[in-house]
Structure 1
């Protein structure tokens, strides 16, 4: 498959840097310098993946992401924010807007290409899965492959962003144990990292969208636990 990638950034040198490195990998690459141009280009080419800057003129990345999610050409596309903004509120807002992941600037070419490959795996794993799951819901347990940083469900790989994977791995490590919110913050984000109160909730919601809602149980006012759905 020739993957179509749309890069959106108002800095011409960044656009050219990413375009050059992705073209070398054989991808079909398209560029836009602001959110409005991104919407027009996306409607024309139906990209599999959109790399989206946050701070742009005319229409910022957050609004562009929300609109892309409503377009039939991009409602199922993988969207990743490419940004130097590392504040937690920005990440939470990005996930709420419909983003799948973040790639921080600056990024080395080999790291960028590796992240793009991982993100595009979601395109393959998502194709045609909705119909089969609706016909016969998957009730098999998950398997976490920590060496390859992937989750196996029904024999198929699910690639998760790093923090989402670490959160799932923590809950998975002790099924039925209720992890307090403070425990989760310390284990996944670290004691020295300041994150917003909604960060865990947003990550849990995105996890449930990726792996299914039955695996993670909310214990109201306390925290979360993982359950094997065979034993639930």
Structure 2
């Protein structure tokens, strides 16, 4: 699954430059030139990372970052601020607001890509091909094997993709619609209740004897992988 980047930047020429280099590197890129629209895109379909300009029409990058951190679905999405502001006080303000990194214009695409990879290696290890671990659950994306407390767990393809998605985003709550888009794909028609069926199958497979239920159901919101599920 290719990492999805949301670029919120009002400079069209810079947007095209960044998009070209990121897509050449294998990322999927969505973009917006408007602060309010960018925030809406992030909340509707949380990306793997947000590239965020400071000065934007309608809503500043600082305010977008602040709202992303307040919204449960985007609270843990990494954010890189991209701005012409070079003062130390500005960098500190951006980081204090919740940005994970800060890069000043002008910058080279190679540096930006290196910073993106560094953050994704730290926050989303599955995107760099590493084995995923959550408490006593281990998922090997290469061999498609899952174990819990050293016992092998047998999952169907859809349950495997669901678990991988949850383990890439621990504690984040996903609505049924978001899970459909991320796990089944945007162009596949599946009824919402199908998600519930596969969640039940995943929960049953993971809940081997003596192990805690780690799939949390959030009323009217969706599901999350959470050690406090019980």
Per the shorter chain, which TM-score range?
Answer: 0.5 to 0.7
Partner of 1:46: 46
Partner of 1:71: 71
Structure 1 residue ranges, 4+ long, deviating more than 4 angstroms after superposition: 125-132
Distance in 1, matches of 2:73 and 2:35, equals 15
Distance in 1, matches of 2:85 and 2:9, equals 14
Partner of 1:14: 14
Distance in 2, matches of 1:76 and 1:128, equals 17
Deviation at 1:129, TM superposition (A): 6.8
Structure 1 unpaired stretches of 5+: 133-232
Q: How does 1:110-189 map to 2 (within 5 A)?
A: 110-125=110-125
Distance in 1, matches of 2:45 and 2:26, equals 16
Distance in 1, matches of 2:13 and 2:122, equals 28
Deviation at 1:25, TM superposition (A): 1.1
After superposition, what is the alpha-carbon deviation per residue over 1:103-155, rounded to whole angstroms, capped at 9, x for unaligned?
A: 121111222222221121122259977757xxxxxxxxxxxxxxxxxxxxxxx
Is 2:99 aligned against 1:102?
A: no
Contact 1:47 1:73 in 2 (8 A): no
Partner of 2:92: 92
CA distance 1:129–1:104, change in 2 (3 Å):
farther
Measured on the aligned residues, the alpha-carbon RMSD in Å equals 2.1
After superposition, what is the alpha-carbon deviation per residue over 1:5-47, rounded to whole angstroms, capped at 9, x for unaligned?
A: 0111111111111111101111111101122111111123211
After superposition, what is the alpha-carbon deviation per residue over 1:31-78, rounded to whole angstroms, capped at 9, x for unaligned?
A: 011221111111232111101111112100100000011222311111
Secondary structure of the 1:73 match is helix
Normalised TM-score (structure 1):
0.53
Contact 1:48 1:74 in 2 (8 A): no
Distance in 2, matches of 1:28 and 1:55, equals 24
Contact 2:95 2:102 in 1 (8 A): no
Structure 2 unpaired stretches of 5+: 137-230
Distance in 1, matches of 2:68 and 2:37, equals 12
Partner of 1:60: 60
Deviation at 1:101, TM superposition (A): 0.7
Distance in 2, matches of 1:46 and 1:86, equals 28
Aligned length: 132
CA distance 1:130–1:103, change in 2 (3 Å):
farther
